[in-house]
Structure 1
Amino acid sequence: MHADRSGRSLAREDGWEARMLLTRSRADKAGAGREAVLEVRGLVKHFPLTQGILVKRQVGAVKAVDGVSFDLHQGETLGIVGESGCGKSTVAKLVTHLEEPTAGTIRYKGEDITKLSGRALKAVRRNIQMVFQDPYTSLNPRMTVGDIVGEPFEIHPEAAPKGDRRRKVQELLDVVGLDPAYVNRYPHQFSGGQRQRIGIARGLALRPEIIVADEPVSALDVSVQAQVVNLMERLQDEFGLSYLFIAHDLSIVRHISDRVAVMYLGRIVEIGTETEIYEHPTHPYTQALLSAVPVPDPERAERRERIVLEGDVPSPANPPSGCHFRTRCWKAQQRCAVEEPALAVPENFAGTLHDEPVHHPSACHFAAERAAVAPPVAG
């Protein structure tokens, strides 16, 4: 069940629990056999650290993104999760070309967009749009909703004739569940959920193929989060969109994503389908994240084994050698300090079948499954 055009949904009455009633055919949307509309390889973004007042010299760099690779298939949702500061938002800005990468390639339908500029880049940006995190600061308070949603038509006039833009803006508001009569209102006259719908309408204006959603529901109430997520799923089906969905909330990511990538300190440490990541995690960091997710069943919660990571997250300006996670990992050995683990199917799972849940890439030398909940005691 998805939110209808008036914005009313089952989630409004029952809150976030209503999302559990939504069903999706993940087998048909997992990306198998589909074209990769976005190919990211070896993506790096280092921000220089400088010293000096008159003469500045570089003394180091913040390694925000340190070698990220993934594919995004047509009609697929790839979720990216991780702690604050792991580089998720920087990846979003690099994909949308709001930041220039230090190294690596981003290919949109086979074309490396990192080398584009001018009109060529402008044409690609029409097909890769972004929904920003904070609905309260991402909309210009001095512009009406009609001007905000219609602004992409000013930049790309070929998308809509000038005399037809108001009608198209009203159609977009209707698509995202807002009254078309709101076209002359200002952002301060809307709630947080309505503002996020306005941001989504702006992202849809040019009929893009890819939408990069950077924490699109983190600033919203739980019931409103459900409405916005339901809306995004419905729009994906209607317009054939591909989503790069970034969030902290593992429950939301599981609900909307076909595949999930887990990031730690600028690197992807595990990637796989929703079932592989949530039911069969093999990387210690992923297991620690999942152990912190609340369990609604009191009996399972009592038997749950919580993994508490020791120490602080290392500075991205001076990350540990080898495996970045080794300073907080209970499995760390000498090999972890000198050899960087590759993001690949671990050696101990290499002999498993490709359709087995454990057969997915994990950047750990000692990857292994670990039950999140201990089995019940007999008798």
Structure 2
Amino acid sequence: MPRQPDQREPILQVRDLVKHFPLTQGILLKRQIGAVKAVDGVSFDLHPGETLGIVGESGCGKSTVARLLMSLETPTSGQIRYKGQDISRLSGRALKAVRRNIQMVFQDPYTSLNPRMTVGDIIGEPYEIHPEAAPRGERRRKVQELLDVVGLNPEHINRYPHQFSGGQRQRIGIARGLALNPEIIICDEPVSALDVSVQAQVINLMERLQDEFGLSYVFIAHDLSVVRHISDRVAVMYLGRIVETGSHQEIYDHPTHPYTQALLSAVPVPDPAAREHRERIILRGDVPSPADPPSGCRFRTRCWKAQRTCAEVDPPLAVPVAFQGARGPVAHDSACHFAEEKEHVAHG
């Protein structure tokens, strides 16, 4: 269940984060002819012990945000501040020290684990990079403790990844992420490759570990029902930008951006009676190319509310004018000129 918001300073602050990948032409004399605007002005905060869910369609820039947070990519511009320190341009020892506190769980448990290494070597590898975290004589014991923490048999330390199921492999990935006792874990679609029943087990494990170790999660997914289950706050991304953000209740029960409403209307509803009374929103057209995004509001080419001002003025991510005097969950940030509550949106 969502926790009460932490009133302390954010542990991670992202401001105007931009990542453009250059498009070049030519073989010998390459010249840039454009850029893929994968992330184009993303800002958010992450508080201690909180889970921020980032949702959106494939290709909206979610995984690029994850790679930027881990310094696997260098941002074109913007800031990523960890405990007040801008880490977006760090390198060498300074970056190594920060990475100890920010770890990642990858999407595919089949390819994120080296098949030639035993489970013990995989989980213990962070200790080779950060030897100060565990003396050499204690590493085997620490690895076995981590296996036990994530619900695996400590006696299986000498087995190889192919000897485990998909859900067990993802538990191994989580154990590796916990090895250095980090404060933040970036979860890049950690359950999308798993069966539904196994997804629930892994999500419950992650919630338990969060309470036990005081972890903060950035949880990236395209499955809104999974994000709803684990997240305290949610940011909805579309074509490189956040279009709506708010608490768990604000986004799922009181969405005001048309794109969020369309996503929620597509969530399957198991109750036949509820299914009959909800409106399914069908978006027209395809997602525009991030190399040539529309002017103004990026969602306008698929939006049923679009008017001339949507093409001319880029709406800010803020409480819409219509709700600025309102109180309650409807008054949250939404990048839409014509934001409004819509009834009969599926709540999952």
Following superposition, the deviation at residue 303 of structure 1 comes to 1.5
State the alpha-carbon separation in 2 of the partners of residues 323 and 111 from structure 1.
Answer: 32
State the alpha-carbon separation in 2 of the partners of residues 147 and 105 from structure 1.
Answer: 35
Partner of 1:368: 340
Following superposition, the deviation at residue 372 of structure 1 comes to 2.2
Matched, 1:357 2:332: no
Partner of 2:106: 132
Change (3 A) 1:227 1:114: same
Following superposition, the deviation at residue 296 of structure 1 comes to 1.5
Q: Which amino acid aligns with 1:218?
A: S
Partner of 2:117: 143
Partner of 1:209: 183
1:162-217 per-residue CA deviation (whole Å, 9 max, x = no partner) reads: 11111100000000000011110000000000000000000000000000000000
Task: Say whether the 8 Å CA contact 1:346–1:367 is kept in structure 2.
Answer: yes
Matched, 1:289 2:248: no
Change (3 A) 1:154 1:56: same
TM-score (norm 2): 0.98
Aligned residue pairs, count: 346
State the alpha-carbon separation in 2 of the partners of residues 161 and 372 from structure 1.
Answer: 58
Change (3 A) 1:90 1:170: same
Residue 272 of structure 1 aligns to a residue whose secondary structure is strand
Following superposition, the deviation at residue 35 of structure 1 comes to 2.4
Residue 124 of structure 1 aligns to a residue whose secondary structure is helix
State the alpha-carbon separation in 2 of the partners of residues 330 and 352 from structure 1.
Answer: 25
Q: What is the identity percentage for the equivalent residue pairs of Structure 1 and Structure 2?
A: 80
State the alpha-carbon separation in 2 of the partners of residues 133 and 27 from structure 1.
Answer: 25
Partner of 2:275: 301
Residue 97 of structure 1 aligns to a residue whose secondary structure is coil
Partner of 1:274: 248
Residue 115 of structure 1 aligns to a residue whose secondary structure is coil
Q: Which amino acid aligns with 1:80?
A: I
Task: Say whether the 8 Å CA contact 1:38–1:107 is kept in structure 2.
Answer: yes
Task: Say whether the 8 Å CA contact 1:45–1:65 is kept in structure 2.
Answer: yes
TM-score (norm 1): 0.90
Specify every segment of 5 or more residues in structure 2 that has no aligned partner in the other structure, as ranges.
Answer: none
Partner of 1:177: 151
Matched, 1:252 2:226: yes
State the alpha-carbon separation in 2 of the partners of residues 35 and 176 from structure 1.
Answer: 30
Task: Say whether the 8 Å CA contact 1:303–1:373 is kept in structure 2.
Answer: no
Matched, 1:57 2:31: yes
Q: Which amino acid aligns with 1:350?
A: Q
State the alpha-carbon separation in 2 of the partners of residues 288 and 373 from structure 1.
Answer: 8
Partner of 1:118: 92
State the alpha-carbon separation in 2 of the partners of residues 138 and 279 from structure 1.
Answer: 36
Task: Say whether the 8 Å CA contact 1:282–1:369 is kept in structure 2.
Answer: yes
Task: Say whether the 8 Å CA contact 2:74–2:89 is kept in structure 1.
Answer: no
Paired residues for 1:302-317 under 5 Å: 302-317=276-291
Residue 334 of structure 2 aligns to a residue whose secondary structure is coil
Task: Say whether the 8 Å CA contact 1:300–1:373 is kept in structure 2.
Answer: no
Paired residues for 1:54-203 under 5 Å: 54-203=28-177
Q: Which amino acid aligns with 1:165?
A: R
Task: Say whether the 8 Å CA contact 2:3–2:50 is kept in structure 1.
Answer: no
Q: Which amino acid aligns with 2:216?
A: S
Q: Which amino acid aligns with 1:266?
A: G
Following superposition, the deviation at residue 338 of structure 1 comes to 1.0
State the alpha-carbon separation in 2 of the partners of residues 373 and 281 from structure 1.
Answer: 8
Partner of 2:315: 341
State the alpha-carbon separation in 2 of the partners of residues 135 and 34 from structure 1.
Answer: 34
State the alpha-carbon separation in 2 of the partners of residues 300 and 160 from structure 1.
Answer: 54
Runs of 4+ that moved beyond 4 A: none
Partner of 2:195: 221
State the alpha-carbon separation in 2 of the partners of residues 197 and 97 from structure 1.
Answer: 24
Q: 2:13 aligns with which of 4, 15, 39?
A: 39
Residue 75 of structure 1 aligns to a residue whose secondary structure is coil
Query: CA RMSD, aligned part only?
Result: 0.9
State the alpha-carbon separation in 2 of the partners of residues 373 and 324 from structure 1.
Answer: 22
Residue 333 of structure 2 aligns to a residue whose secondary structure is coil
Change (3 A) 1:211 1:373: closer
1:127-179 per-residue CA deviation (whole Å, 9 max, x = no partner) reads: 00000000000000000000000000000000000111111000000000000
Task: Say whether the 8 Å CA contact 1:44–1:101 is kept in structure 2.
Answer: yes
Residue 125 of structure 2 aligns to a residue whose secondary structure is helix
Following superposition, the deviation at residue 299 of structure 1 comes to 1.1
1:321-340 per-residue CA deviation (whole Å, 9 max, x = no partner) reads: 11000000011111111111
Q: Which amino acid aligns with 1:120?
A: A
Task: Say whether the 8 Å CA contact 1:105–1:114 is kept in structure 2.
Answer: yes
Specify every segment of 5 or more residues in structure 1 that has no aligned partner in the other structure, as ranges.
Answer: 1-23, 375-379
Task: Say whether the 8 Å CA contact 1:287–1:370 is kept in structure 2.
Answer: yes
